[in-house]
Homo-oligomer: A and B are copies of this chain.
Amino acid sequence: MKPDFDKGNGLLPVIVQEWETGEVLMLAYTDEQAWEKSLDTGEAHFYSRSRKSIWHKGGTSGHVQRIREIRIDCDYDTILFMVEQVGGAACHKGYKSCFYTRVEKDGRFLEHAEKVFDPKEVYNK
């Protein structure tokens, strides 16, 4: 059995959740090659839609995601990685989770998290 890569034109969404706390960290996409790499290495690999290439999460920052459990949904077209987030931050903007913005009832966006690291220091070395 395999994820249904035909469905998303070869790309399926992957929800990344912190294993210990259940906090949702990010969403990314995987193709078949990145999926195989994630299974083989036990570290999250994705497909970058902007760079059009396989992407080893944390390859630059060191903030890799060690996969503790993988789930797939009832239609086999969405994947859930439950991970241990090395470095404590999944978001390239320096936050633990990419979902640091809350949407208020009136539709306003409100940022409400503290940065874990300074992206300039991590990526411009």
Residues of A within 8 A of B (CB): 1-2, 13, 15, 17, 21-24, 26-27, 39, 42, 69-76, 78-80, 91-93, 95, 98-103, 105, 107-109
Q: Would you call B99 and A26 a contact (CB within 8 A)?
A: no
Give A107 to B105 CA distance when docked, in angstroms.
Answer: 42
Q: Would you call A74 and B101 a contact (CB within 8 A)?
A: yes
Give A80 to B72 CA distance when docked, in angstroms.
Answer: 18
- Specify which chain B residues have a CB less than 8 angstroms from the CB of A69 in the assembled complex: 102
Q: Would you call B102 and A73 a contact (CB within 8 A)?
A: no
Residue from B24, B75, B91 in contact with A74 in the complex, judged by beta carbons closer than 8 Å:
B91
Given A1-B109, A15-B15, A22-B21, decide whether A102 and B71 contact each other with a Cβ distance below 8 A: yes
Residue from B27, B71, B74 in contact with A15 in the complex, judged by beta carbons closer than 8 Å:
B27
A28 to chain B, nearest CB (A): 9
- Specify which chain B residues have a CB less than 8 angstroms from the CB of A2 in the assembled complex: 107
Give A42 to B107 CA distance when docked, in angstroms.
Answer: 12
- Specify which chain B residues have a CB less than 8 angstroms from the CB of A103 in the assembled complex: 39, 70-72, 79
Q: Would you call A74 and B102 a contact (CB within 8 A)?
A: no
A104 to chain B, nearest CB (A): 8
